[in-house]
Chains A and B, each alone.
Chain A
Amino acid sequence: MTKEINGLSVDVDAEGYLADPKQWTKELATGLAKEEGIELSDQHWAIIEFIRKDGAENGTAPNIRRITKIGGFPTKELYNLFPGGPAKKAAKIAGYQKPHGCI
């Protein structure tokens, strides 16, 4: 289905995740973050940039452990910046589907 986010029309799934990560733009990220009640700071952007880069290389968004281990962002910081489910929320804002897997 198509949805209007921050004045831009994009395809999203039933949970509001972008259907195609290639449609992602920074303006969309700001809009998606607002939906999650998050105002994006420089710290948020650094994590989003990592997810974009890692996601482009692997085809899926990294999980929390990967964002911490490979990206170098401490777990505590992730939970503070994206309260109530950091991997899911950060992936959504970065234009990816939520990470699969149990860790």
Chain B
Amino acid sequence: MTTDAIKKISIIASKGSLEGIYPALILANGARAEGIEATLFFTFFGLDAILDKRLDHMKVATVGNPGMHIPTLIGALPGMSALATHMMEKKIEKLDFPGIREFIEMISDAGCDIYACKASVDMFELKKEDFCKQVSDIITVGDFFEKSAGAKIIFT
């Protein structure tokens, strides 16, 4: 291994859509599998991925998402997001990727610390009990930087 190999990463997950959350989870899990220390910090709409009641119901964004190649007005039709979500969930299953809940469990068991952002928790009026049990704590941005000492920070 070279001396500048990555040893530690801190990943910020800020998106509340299905396609927006997977990159953060894949990066965190992949890092641990490579023996890299990893921390996952969920903020704003990204919190949905660790909210016990929401994490099994994340949806694909069909509006404001040019990558979907669907005109905005069509994407806004009722049921479009549900349809796109269903298609992506099937793809995810076919690729044998874990669903959000299983993924969060895997990542936590792999030794990655999972945190929720205090500012967002306050804004959405959430409590520690609202989160899945893998969430270690609700922390401030200052705590986040402290925990990220020596880490590369990745924003998703």
Contacts and interface: CB of A to CB of B under 8 A. Distances in A.
Interface in A55-87: 63-65, 68, 74-76, 79, 83-87
Interface stretch (B43-51, B58-66, B104-112): B104-112
B33 interface: yes
Nearest to B97: A103
Contacts of A14: none
Interface in B1-40: 26, 29-30, 32-35
A63 B29 CA distance: 12
26 contacts: A63-B33, A64-B33, A64-B106, A64-B110, A65-B106, A68-B106, A74-B109, A75-B109, A76-B111, A79-B32, A79-B109, A79-B110, A79-B111, A84-B35, A85-B33, A85-B35, A86-B33, A87-B33, A88-B33, A88-B34, A102-B26, A103-B26, A103-B30, A103-B96, A103-B97, A103-B98
Interface residues of B, number: 14
Contact of A76 (B29, B33, B109): B109
Contacts of B110: 64, 75, 79
Chain A binding surface, main DSSP class: helix
A83 B34 CA distance: 10
A96 to B, nearest CB: 15
B29 A103 contact: yes
Interface string B98-142: 100000001001110000000000000000000000000000000
A102 B30 contact: yes
Interface string A4-46: 0000000000000000000000000000000000000000000
Contacts of A65: 96, 98, 106
Contacts of A84: 35
The 5 closest A-B pairs by CB, nearest first: A84-B35, A75-B109, A85-B35, A76-B109, A102-B26
Contact of A83 (B35, B98, B109): B35
B99 to A, nearest CB: 12
Which of A65, A84, A88, A103: most chain B Cβ within 10 A? A103
Given A75-B109, A103-B29, A103-B97, 17 more contacts: A63-B33, A64-B106, A64-B110, A65-B96, A74-B109, A79-B110, A79-B111, A83-B35, A84-B35, A85-B33, A85-B35, A86-B33, A88-B34, A102-B26, A102-B30, A103-B26, A103-B30
A14 B30 CA distance: 22
